[in-house]
Amino acid sequence: MNDTLRTKLGVPFPLFAFSHCRDVIVAVSKAGGFGVLGAAGFSPDELETELTWIDQHIDGHPYGVDLLFPENMALAGEDPSRVTDLARGIPQQHRQFVADLLKTHGVDPGGEADAVRVSRPPSLLRAQGVALLDVAFRHPIKLIVNALGLPPKEMFEGARAKGVLVGALAGAREHALRHVEAGVDVIVAQGGEAGGHCGEVSTMVLIPEVVRAVRAVSDVPVLAAGGIMTGRQMAAAMVLGASGAWTGSVWLATTESETSEIFRDKMVKARSRDTVRSKGRTGKYSRQLKSAWTDAWEGPDSPGALPMPLQSMISEPALQKATAAAERGVAGGRELVTYFVGQGVGLVENVRSARAVVQDFREEFAEALGDLDTLAS
Amino acid sequence: MNDTLRTKLGVPFPLFAFSHCRDVIVAVSKAGGFGVLGAAGFSPDELETELTWIDQHIDGHPYGVDLLFPENMALAGEDPSRVTDLARGIPQQHRQFVADLLKTHGVDPGGEADAVRVSRPPSLLRAQGVALLDVAFRHPIKLIVNALGLPPKEMFEGARAKGVLVGALAGAREHALRHVEAGVDVIVAQGGEAGGHCGEVSTMVLIPEVVRAVRAVSDVPVLAAGGIMTGRQMAAAMVLGASGAWTGSVWLATTESETSEIFRDKMVKARSRDTVRSKGRTGKYSRQLKSAWTDAWEGPDSPGALPMPLQSMISEPALQKATAAAERGVAGGRELVTYFVGQGVGLVENVRSARAVVQDFREEFAEALGDLDTLAS
């Protein structure tokens, strides 16, 4: 196993868990894995609260933070105080499409005022992201990760000052090489079957491709992501040359996760074919559970998704309303409910505690290694 | 390793090679793997010639044959003598689209008479497929495979009479279970990154999903397909629970393969993102190398692909002309050239002999097992 991960990160079992939920981060790190908190959806004050709680409960085990500084995004230089102006960039056609979609599903779209999320400036705005970075660096994190594109200079500077490693996601070999050239310490190579923002190349092909390219020019470790829900798949990914696994979707089906019970129930019932790669949630391609929402945005009457960050400003409030309605028993609301999840959703059979998930990973990983002993003879 | 493969098929190293080229079949089987001849493109006389040649050169090593009996296809019951009538089902709009596409790329579309392939009845017609089956069963094959959907009863009957195993491809768990229920002996679970006809679920997710489902009800072995170009990936697939690997694209980049030198050159240069899942070649989704041909059929002016088998009747003659023109130096012809290939094309760095490919697989497979020893400690 690549020394960087064990030595610099202090992680015994290279299972990296991406989650928005602090309980998952703590459970995973305490069980020998490495939790990474997805922080893009928090305000700086909220992030401060989350990280303080983590520090108090994690017994000194290592963990990291993941932020979102997309390279190619409309309004990257915008001042957060101009969010109301941003909202004006949203065409009436799109607002109407969303309102009608909610109505035909028995969900009250509410007034114009709460159709667009302006109360919390999208953290995709650079200044917001930098404020979150500052908060993260005030805590004993070991890894800071950029979820989309090259990490910005503020991430490198803060990380170097604190002895924190910098990670970055890549969905293609060329992107991984750019990361290495820029000085990234850990590459997360994410296959197209992953939940959330992802590329087109599958994990089985991408991992060997990225490992081969990165090893030709550096010692940078590569984590495998995309579809990994079990210890057996983690072992397979390491056979492909990865130094560990980066996982996301499996943590959504835990008792601690931030998802609604309705979504977790949908996850248990879903097949691996029930996801779709669509721009309808954030404006960039991301893999989500198929639902009436994704069907509408991919359908013939769709006005087409707005660019990031505008699409989130209309999708998030709408889906919150749909979820709330679903929780009140509105069947149409339930049909709309969706979230980021990968094809691995087909492997989810039940909802477990995060701790049980880590234990299952460790047991299956050991079993898989045992099987290979048999193969070798 | 699952006993069925070793005992009943007599294969020491469970690397299954799908190829239209008899030289590849012989090289792979003689090197300890298992060659499977893709026979759907041959006439019965041609297949008789190929199998006789294989029998004379393969030194008694085991091999198999793959045919195509699609379950859901227009005209499945059609009489091959009615092929000229079939050709009339092709709209003028489509013929014109193809002719214009060739012309704008400097390729002579020829006359109306040779724009549609009627000289060789598509083997997709059932009677043709059955004639091919009869030829196959007259040779000492060990495995007969249906490439798309449930094998027809004639395949099961012939196989049982001869002690031949029946295999079938599946791109989803539900299809694999139908195969098991119907009595299929070997399942090939093929991920969406594979070349040719394929589903949507990636290999990393599909293999554990299918293995779990099939093992719950049977002892049927599952082979993994989709993106596998190296011994390391084969080892990874077996860690996922597969009993071996089924490979296709890697054999296209061999000196023996049936592909043109131009296509092999394109393969070496291609990145994993340079494939597309399109209906434009056969009328059903199949993964192919992106080219001016696939761009046109996926583009805004496309008339939309015809259903199987009509689309092949216009695509094959056109692409043959384009390839011939490319070989004469016509740049536009070269831009059109395409073939079935998976995302694993990004892992092709050079053209090797089929024998060298098998050797490389065996070496890397052993290396991967060695690495896991390190992991285990």
Within its chain, how far is the Cα of B93 from the centroid?
Answer: 29
At residue A1, the pLDDT reads: 47
| Sheet of B286-289, strands arranged across | B196-197, B286-289, B275-278
How far is the C-alpha of A24 from the C-alpha of A17, rounded, in Å?
8
How far is the C-alpha of A192 from the C-alpha of B200, rounded, in Å?
11
How far is the C-alpha of A141 from the C-alpha of B128, rounded, in Å?
66
Residue B13 Cα, gap to closest chain A Cα (Å) = 11
Q: Where are the alpha helices (DSSP H) in chain B?
A: 3-9, 22-30, 44-57, 83-88, 92-104, 126-137, 153-162, 173-182, 203-215, 231-239, 249-252, 261-269, 292-298, 310-327, 331-336, 354-376
How far is the C-alpha of B349 from the C-alpha of B352, rounded, in Å?
9
Each residue's pLDDT expressed in tens, for chain B with a length of 377 residues: 466 787 789 899 999 999 999 999 999 999 999 999 999 889 999 999 999 999 999 999 999 999 987 766 544 555 656 667 778 889 999 999 999 999 999 999 988 767 777 555 455 567 788 899 999 999 999 999 999 889 999 999 999 999 999 999 999 999 999 999 999 999 999 999 999 988 899 999 999 999 999 999 999 999 999 999 999 999 999 999 999 999 999 999 999 998 999 999 999 999 999 999 999 999 989 999 999 999 999 999 999 999 888 899 999 999 999 999 999 999 999 999 999 999 999 999 999 999 999 999 999 999 998 887 777 66
- What is the span of the domain harbouring residue A233? 3-73+124-257+349-376
Number of domains in chain B: 1
CB of B291 closer than 8 Å to CB of B331? no
Please, which residues have CB within 8 angstroms of residue A174's CB and are 6 or more apart in sequence? Answer: B271
Domain assignment of residue A81, yes or no: no
At residue A244, the pLDDT reads: 95
Residue B207 Cα, gap to closest chain A Cα (Å) = 10
Sign of CA dihedral A302, B278, B202, B180: positive
Cβ-count burial A279-311 (b if 16+ within 10 Å, e if not): bbbbbbbbbbbbbbbbbbbeeeebeebbebbbb
Domain assignment of residue B49, yes or no: yes
Q: Taking CA B70 as the corner, what is the angle to CA A344 and CA B182, rounded to the nearest 5 degrees? A: 70
Give this complex's ipTM: 0.91
Unique residue bearing structure tokens 């083997």: B123
Residue A319 Cα, gap to closest chain B Cα (Å) = 26
The answer to whether the Cβ–Cβ distance between A372 and B230 falls below 8 Å is no
Domain assignment of residue B306, yes or no: no
CB of A176 closer than 8 Å to CB of A214? yes
Size of interface A-B (CB pairs under 8 A): 153
Please, which residues have CB within 8 angstroms of residue B1's CB and are 6 or more apart in sequence? Answer: A374, A375, B14, B238, B243, B244
Tell me which residue of A212, A211, A191, A210 sits closest to A202, measured CA to CA.
A191
State the helix-helix crossing angle for B354-376 and B231-239, rounded to 10 degrees: 50
Nearest residue of chain A to residue B345 (CA atoms): A205
Domain assignment of residue B307, yes or no: no
Residues of A in contact with B199 (CB under 8 A): 273
Please, which residues have CB within 8 angstroms of residue B52's CB and are 6 or more apart in sequence? Answer: B139
Residues of B in contact with A1 (CB under 8 A): 374-375
Mutation target for A interface from B177, B205, B374: give the one with most A CBs within 10 A: B205
By Cβ distance, the residue of B191, B209, B241 closest to A346 is B209
> How many other C-beta atoms can be found within 10 angstroms of the C-beta atom of residue A312?
21
Q: What is the CATH number of the domain that holds A149?
A: 3.20.20.70
What Cα–Cα distance (Å) separates residue A375 from each residue in A371, B86, B306? 6, 51, 46
Q: Is B309 helix (H, G, I), strand (E, B) or coil?
A: coil
At residue B111, the pLDDT reads: 82
How far is the C-alpha of A101 from the C-alpha of A109, rounded, in Å?
9
By Cβ distance, the residue of B193, B236, B376 closest to A240 is B236
Tell me which residue of A342, A345, A337 sits closest to A277, measured CA to CA.
A342
By Cβ distance, the residue of B232, B239, B369 closest to A232 is B239
Residue A68 Cα, gap to closest chain B Cα (Å) = 24
Residue A132 Cα, gap to closest chain B Cα (Å) = 34
Domain assignment of residue A176, yes or no: yes
CB of B32 closer than 8 Å to CB of B48? no
Residues of B in contact with A172 (CB under 8 A): 271-273
Q: Provide the pairing of β-strand B286-289 with B275-278.
A: antiparallel
Mutation target for B interface from A5, A200, A204, A243: give the one with most B CBs within 10 A: A204
Amino acid A101 reads L
pTM as predicted:
0.92
The answer to whether the Cβ–Cβ distance between A239 and B368 falls below 8 Å is yes
Residue B90: exposure state from Cβ atoms within 10 A (0-12, 13-18, ≥19): middle
Sign of CA dihedral B354, B355, B360, B362: positive
Model confidence pLDDT, tens digit, residues A74-95: 445 556 566 677 788 899 999 9
How far is the C-alpha of B326 from the C-alpha of B320, rounded, in Å?
10
In the DSSP assignment, the letter for residue B36 is E
B140 preceded by cis ω (within 30°)? no
How far is the C-alpha of A246 from the C-alpha of A228, rounded, in Å?
8
Cβ-count burial A250-275 (b if 16+ within 10 Å, e if not): bbbbbebbbbbeebbebbeebbbbbb
Domain assignment of residue A45, yes or no: yes
By Cβ distance, the residue of A204, A212, A373 closest to B191 is A204
Domain assignment of residue A243, yes or no: yes
Domain assignment of residue A353, yes or no: yes
Within its chain, how far is the Cα of B130 from the centroid?
Answer: 19
Each residue's pLDDT expressed in tens, for chain A with a length of 377 residues: 466 787 789 899 999 999 999 999 999 999 999 999 999 889 999 999 999 999 999 999 999 999 987 766 544 555 656 667 778 889 999 999 999 999 999 999 988 767 777 555 455 567 788 899 999 999 999 999 999 889 999 999 999 999 999 999 999 999 999 999 999 999 999 999 999 988 899 999 999 999 999 999 999 999 999 999 999 999 999 999 999 999 999 999 999 998 999 999 999 999 999 999 999 999 989 999 999 999 999 999 999 999 888 899 999 999 999 999 999 999 999 999 999 999 999 999 999 999 999 999 999 999 998 887 777 76
At residue B1, the pLDDT reads: 47
Q: Is B166 helix (H, G, I), strand (E, B) or coil?
A: strand
What Cα–Cα distance (Å) separates residue A259 from each residue in A196, A288, A347? 14, 13, 18
